[in-house]
Chains A and B, each alone.
Chain A
Amino acid sequence: MAGIVGYGAYIPRNRIKVEEIAKVWGADAPGYKKGLMLEEKSVPSPDQDTISMSVEASKRALKRAGIDPREIGAVYVGSESHPYAVKPSGTVLAEAIDATPDVHTADLEFACKAGTEGMFIALSLVQAGAIKYGLAVGADTSQGAPGDALEYSAAAGAAAFIFGKDGLVAESVDTYSYTTDTPDFWRREYQYYPQHGGRFTGDPAYFKHITGAARGMMARVKMKPADFDYVVFHQPNGKFPLRAGEILGFTKKQIEPGWLVPKLGNTYSGSSPLGLTATLDIAKPGDMILVVSYGSGAGSDAFVFKVTKRIDEVRDLAPRTRFLLDNDKNYLEYGVYAKYRRKIRKAE
């Protein structure tokens, strides 16, 4: 039986409020807040990126796992904001946690689901007996085009999971992926900002794949929504995951612990992974958790985890996700935010 042996989260402490962004673009802040169910989002400092956040999240996962990093056989970083277009984030991470050189590494991208892809691959390798432990990280510092709707939600964060067969905090019961070619959101090479299909990103994209994956997953494990204690959906804004829950028959109570987006924003490849870390932070042994990610392009990865007794021993060996979200926040003005996010054109 394979599953999660350790998990860790990292959220930068800077925030920017919806009103602050709306003010600059002359937009309707209350409208955005209500429509997106979003109040503020995290902003990375210039010295934070997918790699740096992955390292810190992974160190926290190692603290909870209590393993020797040299026993990690694979390291995957899923992101759509890898610092290099060509040169892996995974190798820096692997060196930083001392997992090199006996390790397989790959960088993954699939819009917002690159994190859960890495999780799927690491878990599968452990299950197959090919590696003893596998580390998967979902991390992003994604950009939204200035003035675009996505600017209100594109945020930064990282979640790391170490998979193995012993010392589990949560067993993996099963996984299921649902994938089609759906061009709802993309970024061409050399373009600074992504483009998206507006309302097309809703029903034919997010909802189709989330519900397809959730239903497919529940069919495989022969479970109904009420059989789960918690569910974590990909969270591009506050509204979508709640609506997905309604469509599928989950209650708000099941969604709430992992519903970080109103104060965090959309951490893209970190989105459902961070929702999972926040849920593990409060889950009890025996709890069943359904995780359904979504990545534009499009696809969803679903996981069913069953929490074990060990969660009680390790959950406080590293900071809890809600603590990182709520504690010691540093609010930015738009000008500083734009400077940090390199949205200001500078001299060559």
Chain B
Amino acid sequence: MPTPSRSWREIPQRYRLEAGKCKGCGAVFFPPRVVCPQCGSREFGKTRLAGSGKLLTYTIIRVAPRQFEDQAPYAVGIAELDDGVRLTAQVVDCDFSALAVGMRVTIEFRRISEEGEAGAIYYGYKFVPE
């Protein structure tokens, strides 16, 4: 069981979608990086990701890893947000039959998983149909 520190560290990203914007070339990275893979700059400013986008791809996971067994089957997808950044997350509140490449989605704050009945609860972002 990991300590809560690992998840706590990602709060700005998971709760507020804070990304890094390279001061050298303007590229946006989520999660933020220390060095820009495009121009090599080591200076970044903070920015927030757009709250909506479209699905580039998706699937329905039926055989889940530990901590997600109770959730299966669940849909996941990669969306390209309106600011061009891509994000991977579950797709919820959507009938599986309605999932489609190109569908518009919005980001919502949801419970992601928990370390059993007594462990920490992890929150983060998921996609819902726009």
Contacts and interface: CB of A to CB of B under 8 A. Distances in A.
A48 B112 CA distance: 9
Contact of A46 (B11, B71, B108, B109): B71
B111 A48 contact: yes
Contacts of B15: 55, 92, 95-96
A12 to B, nearest CB: 8
Interface string A67-103: 0000000000000000110000000100110100000
Interface string B75-105: 0000000000000001011000000000000
A164 B111 CA distance: 30
Given A46-B70, A47-B112, A47-B126, A98 B121 contact: no
Given A47-B126, A96-B16, A52 B93 contact: no
Contacts of B108: 52, 56
Interface in B29-81: 70-71
Nearest to A13: B93
A51 B121 CA distance: 11
Query: Does more than half of chain B's interface fall in helix, strand or loop, or is it mixed?
Result: strand
Nearest to A55: B109
A51 B123 contact: yes
Contacts of B111: 46-49, 51-52, 83
A180 interface: no
Contact of B121 (A45, A59, A83): A83
Nearest to B121: A83
A10 B16 CA distance: 18
B107 to A, nearest CB: 10
A344 B78 CA distance: 33
Contact of A52 (B11, B16, B71, B109): B109
A83 B114 CA distance: 11
Contact of B109 (A45, A56, A328): A56
Contacts of B123: 51-52, 55, 92, 96
A98 B15 CA distance: 9
Contacts of B126: 47
Contacts of A98: 16
A52 B126 CA distance: 11
A92 B14 CA distance: 11
Nearest to B70: A46
A131 B29 CA distance: 36
Contacts of A95: 11, 15-16
Nearest to B93: A13
Nearest to B51: A59
Interface string B2-40: 000000000100011000000000000000000000000
B64 to A, nearest CB: 13
Nearest to B108: A56
Contacts of A328: 93
Contacts of B112: 47
Contacts of B71: 46-47
Interface of B: 11, 15-16, 70-71, 90, 92-93, 108-112, 121, 123, 126
Given A51-B121, A55-B109, 8 more contacts: A13-B93, A45-B93, A46-B111, A47-B92, A47-B112, A48-B111, A95-B16, A328-B93
10 contacts: A13-B93, A46-B70, A47-B110, A49-B111, A52-B111, A52-B123, A56-B108, A96-B16, A98-B16, A328-B93
Interface of A: 13, 45-49, 51-52, 55-56, 59, 83-84, 92, 95-96, 98, 328, 330, 346
Listed from nearest, the 7 A-B pairs whose CB atoms lie closest are A55-B109, A96-B15, A47-B110, A47-B111, A52-B110, A95-B15, A52-B109
